Amino acid sequence: MTKYSLKNRCLLVLLLLAVINQAHADNGYKLWLEYNRITAPQQAAVYKQQLAYFIFPAASDQLKAAKTELLTGLDGMLSFIPRDTKAIISGQTFIVGTPRSLKSLSIVVPDGIGSEGYLIKTTLINQQKCTIIIANTDVGVLYGVFNFLKLIQIHQPINRLDISDHPHIMYRVLDHWDNLNRSVERGYAGSSIWNWHKLPGIVDQRYIDYARANASVGINGSVINNVNADALILSPQYLIKIQTLANVFRVYGIKIYLSVKFSSPVDLGGLKTADPLDATVKKWWADKADEIYHYIPDFGGFLVKANSEGQPGPQTYGRTHADGANMLADVLAPHHGIVMWRAFVYDNNVPDDRSKQAYNEFKPFDGKFRDNVIIQVKNGPIDFQPREPFHPLFGAMPNTSLMMEFQLTQEYLGFSTHLVYEAPLFAECLQADTYTQGKGSTVSRVLQGDFNKKLITGMAGVANIGSDLNWCGHPFAQANWYAFGRMAWNPDQSPAAIADDWLKMTFTNDAGFVSPVKRLMLESRENTVNYMTPLGLHHIMGVSTHYGPGPWVDNAGRPDWNATYYHKADSAGIGFNRTSTGSNALSQYAPEVKANWENLQTCPDEYLLWFHHLSWTYKMRSGKSLWDEIVHHYYMGADSVKQMTLTWNKMQGKVDAERFTEVQQLMQTQLAEATTWRDACVLYFQTFSKMPIEAIYAKPEHPLPYYKGMKFYYVPGIGGNNYMTN
């Protein structure tokens, strides 16, 4: 054998090994729709026997999509396609459809599942045992199919099923802060997935897979552009592009919404005013609505950010939020569209606690908005902080439709380099008791319209989706998209149960992986709060970019952009006094909530410095001084990331090497950044406390000037404009 041929053989072997490794690699593109092969022969055989035949007439696009998904999933998990049949073979036939598509079988849908719900049941039809997925509508069938596939993905038995489910929230929407130049404001997973230049001619497979993923968790709406909107989005040039996206999304039960700039009649229409009470302005919007519905007959409606952070709005013309929202609602009403009007407003000229401003501006207009207006309220009164108390508007506007706004993209939670499972954050807010209708008036019940059945209901999530191969930048950030969909469908679902399902669907059913990694996920948000903003601290991140710590920021151009505005650290202590002796923000909550948080004996440690300014020597429940408690939390938070990495390292071999290595590297980055947060904040606050860091803790790696002097260039997520937040 010559050296040349030997060399070629070696290259061939290396090439084959590379192909084999690539075949086993997983870049995360498939999200939780992996449909991993069930390798246990007996388990696979049981599923195949129970699904040997199926009856699934599919005439509509949505039923065709559901049927394709079902067959794709079964083929992926079982290497098996059931046989199409017309006769029912007892115990082996799977029947899917609506009463209309299955009219020959005379199947009745039970009451209560509505237009989007479904029934999955083992039952007798014509005296033969079979499994059915039945719904009133085609989209209900689609949701049922995805849930049925999930049962197999997580290895649940399907021989005795009785599942009846329906969404508890009407409008379940992803908000994309994507700009027309494909930058994504507060986006950390690459550029926008909307390739405007190639639309409408090119329909990227990614659009279809995006719609599939959303439908699989029941998301039924997508706002495809930034709340800091460009009026150009309403031009015919872009409407024809949006029409193409709408045609894709419609198949999966998803409506398109657009963020609109309130000054569009001036910017795009050439009018001299955008006054919502001006007749020419009303006509411009009515004509524009007619034009949009010509392109997109099932267009969902508008999302509006008005009179906040320099954005135009009705107050620009001496009008109210109700005037502006109702004008747009009136032009959409004939088309059955809605207006989602954001309550995220604050004014630099209002010399008051920023956390009070949304309540002060919107509470007086309770009951003044049209029936097709829903006020979109952030989960907390500041701005998507690692921890905030629930927003006081929840429960305070009983005659107004309110829509929750969560942030999936981790603007204040470490971007896409930190593993932070947000479902516990969602649940903490949703299960908080507002007491506005008595004990048990949780935010969840308010959102579901339990106290006013006439209201429309909604939940929005600021998307963490971009052009990265794995969609979200961090493999575990996908779980936040998944969890949002699940909790928008049913706000009372358990974060633990959702994490369990997601891990099994995305990685493996191996209990040796699922159990420890689920625990890691459930602890991750609290760990992050500890190394960033413990004990109720908030808004102390780097200016503009929001990257890294910046508790020293005091020159950001306006008071409430500065970290010092929020923590108010001085020689006497630290914390924002929002009690009756301070800003009195607590007066915006129900008396029971106010009393609980105002009293130092009952205020949870988690919100202590959110509501109180306390001395450094204040004695905590733990027996430590406030200073020592702060230090303890910062060090505990950073140490928790070390423990997280140790847990993950033990997972090698239980999941694919590609994602294992990616997460391992990300955790090292997270540990370094958590340590920076810890050291920078502890050293900065020590300049006020003048108290020592206990000897049991490692000394900070650098002196304070080092951290204050750190500069970060081209940080992702700025989005091409100068807005500080969204």
**Positions marked catalytic:** 309, 383, 411
**Which residue from 526, 531, 552 is spatially nearest to 427, judged by alpha carbons?**
526
**Which residue from 62, 73, 74, 72 is spatially nearest to 101, judged by alpha carbons?**
62
CA distance 582 to 593: 17
**Cβ pair 434, 395 in contact under 8 A:** yes
State the amino acid at position 484 in one-letter form.
Answer: F
**Cβ pair 564, 554 in contact under 8 A:** yes
CA distance 149 to 144: 9
**How many angstroms separate the Cα of 418 from the Cα of each of 19, 481, 546?**
31, 15, 14
H or E segment and range at residue 584: none
Q: How far is CA 23 from the centre of its chain?
A: 31
Burial 280-299 (b: 16+ CB within 10 A, else e): ebbebbbebbeebbebbeeb
CA distance 434 to 411: 27
CA distance 183 to 271: 29
**Which two tokens mark 632?**
């303890």
Burial 59-71 (b: 16+ CB within 10 A, else e): ebebbebbbebbe
Distance from first CA to last CA of the chain, Å, rounded? 68
Strand partners, 257: 223, 301
Longest distance between any two alpha carbons in the chain, whole Å: 91
CA distance 655 to 653: 6
Query: Helix, strand, coil: what percent of the chain each, to 5?
Result: 40, 10, 45
CA distance 11 to 107: 62
H or E segment and range at residue 97: strand 93-97
Strand partners, 302: 258, 339
**Which residue from 155, 104, 159 is spatially nearest to 126, judged by alpha carbons?**
104
Q: List alpha helices for 363-494, DSSP H.
A: 423-430, 443-447, 478-489
Q: How many CA atoms does the CB half-sphere of 29 hold within 13 Å?
A: 11
Burial 148-170 (b: 16+ CB within 10 A, else e): bbbbbbeeeebeebeeebbbbbb
H or E segment and range at residue 222: strand 221-223
CA distance 402 to 275: 25
**Which residue from 307, 293, 395 is spatially nearest to 347, judged by alpha carbons?**
307
- Please, which residues have CB within 8 angstroms of residue 2's CB and are 6 or more apart in sequence? none
**Which residue from 407, 330, 317, 315 is spatially nearest to 365, judged by alpha carbons?**
315
CA distance 661 to 570: 44
